[in-house]
Amino acid sequence: MVDLAQRHDEPLFEDISLSPADIKVNRIGIEDLWECLRKGYDDFSNKPSSAVALLILYYPLAAVIFTLFALDQELRYLLFPLVAGFTLFGPIVAVVFFGLSRSREKGEEMRWRVAYRFVHSASFAPILGLSIVMTLLYLFWLYGAELLFFGIMGSAPIESAGSFFGRLFSTREGWLLIAYGNFVGFLFAFAAMALSIVSFPLALDKPVTAITAASVSVRAFTTNSVVLGVWGLVVVGLLALGTATLLMGLALVLPVLGHATWHLYRKLIEFEANSESELES
């Protein structure tokens, strides 16, 4: 029989958890964004098979959207919210790319087995908590989009895709829906970026709680609001290009952005010397 007492020196989880006071937020410039994109593409070039994983993840979404149109369902009004809001899951998917970039940073081979190693570590709990928050944010976004649609366009049934788009672009209500929808979407995107820009890579990299990771992420965003606002525009632009190619471009764009976000995290965050020494001891 195995003596469990002999295994007390092999803890499954870290005993030390960093607090927000142990984590320093740096100010960065626009030039740092381009450097992160360059490093992100370099990481992707060393692991191009990640494109296949993204196709597997995102093409079911395309199938759902196609089915809604093919079956002439009345849920077409949720088409844009479904697609736009799906980017809220980006940080969750990107955890795998963070792991690949982290392993390459340490001089290890970029293997999928290493990227998923966080599932069996103390990082899993905070990443799961943050993922639940992002999922709830997505559901609130869809609910808000539905309320906005019926509040402006009324409850009249949608007869066809042509009549829906015709009403959307040729009536005052349609343009109001576009304006208010984009404004509300911007608020959700703002909140999502503030909560996730640093939290997911931080939770993967160091022993922190989900609350600590989220609070540090918000602090990093507010400290660099202009620069990270530009980053947000870059992300939206690249995602739009990837989506315009029938989602094929996302197989390149999403891995590059995932790797680049890891390097952005490295530029934004530093750790106090005493906390680093405690973690190493």
pLDDT, tens digit, for every residue of 140-164?
Answer: 998 999 899 989 988 776 766 677 7
Residues 212-238: tens digit of each pLDDT: 999 999 999 999 999 999 999 999 888
3-state class (DSSP) for residue 269: strand
Contact in structure between 184 and 148 (CB atoms under 8 Å): yes
What are the percentages of helix, strand and coil residues in the chain, rounded to 5?
Answer: 80, 0, 20
- Alpha carbon 266 to chain centroid, angstroms: 16
Q: Is the pLDDT of residue 257 over 80?
A: yes
Q: pLDDT category, 184, cuts 50, 70, 90?
A: very high
| Per-residue b or e along 195-223, where b marks 16 or more CB atoms closer than 10 Å to that residue's CB | bbbbbbbbbbbbbbbbebbbbbbbbbbee
Whether the pLDDT of residue 196 is over 90: the answer is yes
95-133 tens-digit pLDDT: 989 999 999 999 888 887 877 888 888 999 999 999 999
pLDDT reading at 181 higher than 70: yes
Band (pLDDT 50/70/90 cuts) for residue 7 is: very low
